Amino acid sequence: MIRGEKLFGSKTRTSVLILIALLEESYPTELAQLIGAKLYTIQKICESLESDGIVVSRLFGRTRQVTLNPRYAAAKELHALLWSLGTSRIDLQTAAATKRRRARRPGKPGL
């Protein structure tokens, strides 16, 4: 087991936070694909993190972008911690480096 993998309650929740920190912003569908989890699970995690004030989200059309909340009391410290945890997660680093940086338009061919 990797140290800190369940630091934020579960492995999936911790992975979501690490990926948001690595990518700077993401959306639930992308996070679900990168982690290999069900979309509903990721959506619930994002909703929970948002209600706790750790992340904020914005709607762009039908896509909900999620970022770390810059107004969170310990935003800089949290980002540094997540970045540090991300250095030990080669799987998340690799996945983050290979993903598109914006959502694909619905109905567009590809993938």
Mean pLDDT of 10-15: 93
Q: What is the pLDDT of residue 79?
A: 94
- Going from the C-alpha of 6 to that of each of 17, 59, 63, 65, 95, the distances in angstroms are 11, 29, 28, 24, 19
Mean pLDDT of 8-21: 92
Average pLDDT, rounded, for the chain? 87
Residues 6+ apart with CB under 8 A from 30: 23, 99, 100, 103
Query: pTM of the prediction?
Result: 0.82
Which domains does the chain carry? 11-97 (1.10.10.10)
